[in-house]
């Protein structure tokens, strides 16, 4: 019987590693089609001119998209766990391609909002299963490193969006910020080959439609309540959300295959952990809300230069996430990394709260980079804790929960941070209002770090 040469093993391992690296890159490319939606913000003035809109109406371009994908994430994560993550991811790429084409061809603002909702469905399909696919490829023993890579890919899309959006809008008007992502999604779809097959479905492994409907209703009304925080209608949205979530918990406590097990919500520290994630993302998103207005007031900064400076916030996360994935578990425990990340966010925001018009550019970049590094480390650690806490068969739900709390934080920031800034701006003027708002945001980040430090150290993990 012929012996197998020892040299064959390295080549086989190298080929397998190369194939997995290629697949991970294609997952990142497909995810970029959704994360590059930050390019749309730069095109807001062009969209308002194109449809002859009041400036206030542009918020619905964001609301329709965010409401749709955030409300569907958990439900689609469970569907991915049931029928296969790769299948849901591919359907999401196809759906996103069609939706992006339709948005760019919108004949009216009403049609654009409808197509943005469709785009949100595609984003939810892609994002709900991206983290699970990367973990499956890297293996459970390399989970932290896989999540670091995935967090880096998410942050990279957020960083490139504003940089590309300005140039594309200037060259080809606002439809370009949607159309340029079509070849990205198509390329990822065509090149994503050899993904793991769908799991074997058991008789009880069915999607809970009634529970999913209650969950979507609860999330939609909660997001609307947060968006209308300064209006009386927020009370009615909040009440409807509470009723829907109550029905969801009642249903899930009796379902054979719940979307998310009610027992996990009773674990010490788990609910607090997710609250902390909302607080951290609320504080961090203040950068994207207020820093562009500050940079626009600084003499000598063109739009492109301002975009580059702002992008350093996401660049910090791009650099930190994969490093965190390598050191967590070996050199530092996950909970301490999350605390350190939240504290770094607070420190970076304090640096932003000291900005003046005479502040050197290098110090502005330093503040943005510090909070970006902190956000990258926190998101990696939080993702790892949530993924460990949920069973292996619930990887889609775990990844979706991470993105959901992140979205809740950003939506809340749009109401809370802007409300605080509006009050302080009226009382003290722009510069002092800007500084005090970032001091408030830093306090939220430090409070989040303190809550984590005082919470139970370890949330029970699952291996099956």
Q: Do both 278 and 247 map to the same domain?
A: no
- The span from the CA of 30 to the CA of 11, in Å, is 28
Q: Are residues 190 and 293 in the same domain?
A: no
Domain CATH code at residue 80: 1.20.1250.20
- Please tell me whether residues 187 and 243 are part of one structural domain: no
- Is position 85 within any domain? yes
Whole-number Å distance between alpha carbons of 27 and 80: 15
Q: How many domains does the chain have?
A: 3
Torsion angle of the four alpha carbons 309, 311, 313, 319, in this order, in degrees rounded to the nearest 10: -120
Same domain, 65 and 156: yes
Is residue 304 assigned to a domain?
Answer: yes
Asked if residue 14 is part of any domain, the answer here is no
In a domain, 87, yes or no: yes
State whether 422 and 371 are in the same domain.
yes
Last residue of a domain, one of 170, 195, 220: 195
Full residue range of the structural domain in which residue 233 is found:
208-256
- Say if residue 98's pLDDT is above 90: yes
The residue to which tokens 């650690």 are assigned = 381
Q: Which pLDDT belongs to residue 12?
A: 46
Query: Do 243 and 143 belong to one domain?
Result: no
Whether 462 and 377 share a structural domain: yes
Give residue-wise pLDDT tens across range 255-310: 777 777 777 766 767 888 889 999 999 999 888 888 888 887 877 776 667 778 88
Using DSSP, state whether 328 is helix, strand or coil: strand
Burial label for 197, CB within 10 Å (0-12, 13-18, 19+), is exposed
What is the pLDDT averaged over residues 168-180?
89
Tell whether 172 is covered by a domain. yes
H/E stretch holding 85 reads: helix 85-104
Which residue in the block uniquely carries the two structure tokens 């497909």?
30
Question: 332 - beta bridge partners?
Answer: 328
| CA–CA distance, 397 with 330 (Å, rounded to integer) | 26
Asked if residue 3 belongs to a domain, the reply is: no
Q: For residue 305, give the nearest of 256, 346, 364 by alpha carbon.
A: 364
Q: For the beta carbon of residue 235, count every other beta carbon within 10 angstroms.
A: 11
Instruction: Look at residues 195, 224, 241 and tell me which one is the last residue of a structural domain.
Output: 195
Q: Are residues 274 and 339 in the same domain?
A: yes
Residues 175 and 215 in one domain: no
pTM: 0.81
* pLDDT digit string, tens, across residues 60-91: 888 889 888 888 888 888 888 888 888 999 99
Q: Does residue 71 sit in helix, strand or coil?
A: helix
Please name the residue that has the structure tokens 């999607």.
207
Together in a domain, 59 and 32: yes
And the tokens for 6?
């020892």
Q: Are residues 311 and 459 in the same domain?
A: yes
Residue 201 lies in a domain: no
Question: Based on the domain organization, do 100 and 231 belong to the same domain?
Answer: no
Q: Residue 215 falls within a domain, yes or no?
A: yes
């Amino acid at each position: 019987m012929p012996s197998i040469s020892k040299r064959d093993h390295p080549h086989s391992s190298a080929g397998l590693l190369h194939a997995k690296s290629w697949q991970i890159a294609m997952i990142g490319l497909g995810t970029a089609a959704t994360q590059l939606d930050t390019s749309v913000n730069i095109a807001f003035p062009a969209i308002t001119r194109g449809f002859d809109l009041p400036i206030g109406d542009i918020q619905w371009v964001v609301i329709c998209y965010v409401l749709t994908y955030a409300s569907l994430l958990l439900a689609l994560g469970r569907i991915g766990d049931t029928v296969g993550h790769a299948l849901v991811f591919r359907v999401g790429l196809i759906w996103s391609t069609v939706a992006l084409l339709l948005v760019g061809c919108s004949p009216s603002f009403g049609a654009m909002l409808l197509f943005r909702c469709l785009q949100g469905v595609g984003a939810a399909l892609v994002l709900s299963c991206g983290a699970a696919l990367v973990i499956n490829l890297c293996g459970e023993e390399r989970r932290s490193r896989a999540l670091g890579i995935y967090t880096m890919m998410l942050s990279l899309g957020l960083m490139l969006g504003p940089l590309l959006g300005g140039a594309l809008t200037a060259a080809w008007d606002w439809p370009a910020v949607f159309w340029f992502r079509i070849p990205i999604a198509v390329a990822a779809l065509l090149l994503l080959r050899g993904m793991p097959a769908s799991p074997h479905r058991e008789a009880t492994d069915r999607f809970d439609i009634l529970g999913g409907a209650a969950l979507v209703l609860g999330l939609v009304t909660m997001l609307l309540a947060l968006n209308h925080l300064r209006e009386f209608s927020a009370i009615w949205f909040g009440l409807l959300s509470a009723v829907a979530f109550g029905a969801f918990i009642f249903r899930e406590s009796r379902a054979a295959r719940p979307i998310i097990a009610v027992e996990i919500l009773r674990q010490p520290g788990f609910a607090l952990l997710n609250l902390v994630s909302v607080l951290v993302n609320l504080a961090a998103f203040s950068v994207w809300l207020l820093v562009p207005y500050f940079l626009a007031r600084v003499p000598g900064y063109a739009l492109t230069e301002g975009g580059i400076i702002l992008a350093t916030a996401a660049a910090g996360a791009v650099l930190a996430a994969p490093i965190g994935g390598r050191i967590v578990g070996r050199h530092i425990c996950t909970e301490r990394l999350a605390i350190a990340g939240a504290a770094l966010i607070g420190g970076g925001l304090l640096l932003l709260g000291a900005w003046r018009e005479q502040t050197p550019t290098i110090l502005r970049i330093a503040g943005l980079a510090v909070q970006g590094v902190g956000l990258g480390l926190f998101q990696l650690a939080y993702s790892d804790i949530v993924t460990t806490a949920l069973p292996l068969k619930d990887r889609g739900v775990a990844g979706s929960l991470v993105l959901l709390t992140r979205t809740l934080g950003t939506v809340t920031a749009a109401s809370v941070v802007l409300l605080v800034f509006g009050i302080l701006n009226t009382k003290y003027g722009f510069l002092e209002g800007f500084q005090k708002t970032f001091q408030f945001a830093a306090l939220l980040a430090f409070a989040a770090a303190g809550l984590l430090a005082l919470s139970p150290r370890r949330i029970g993990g699952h291996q099956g």
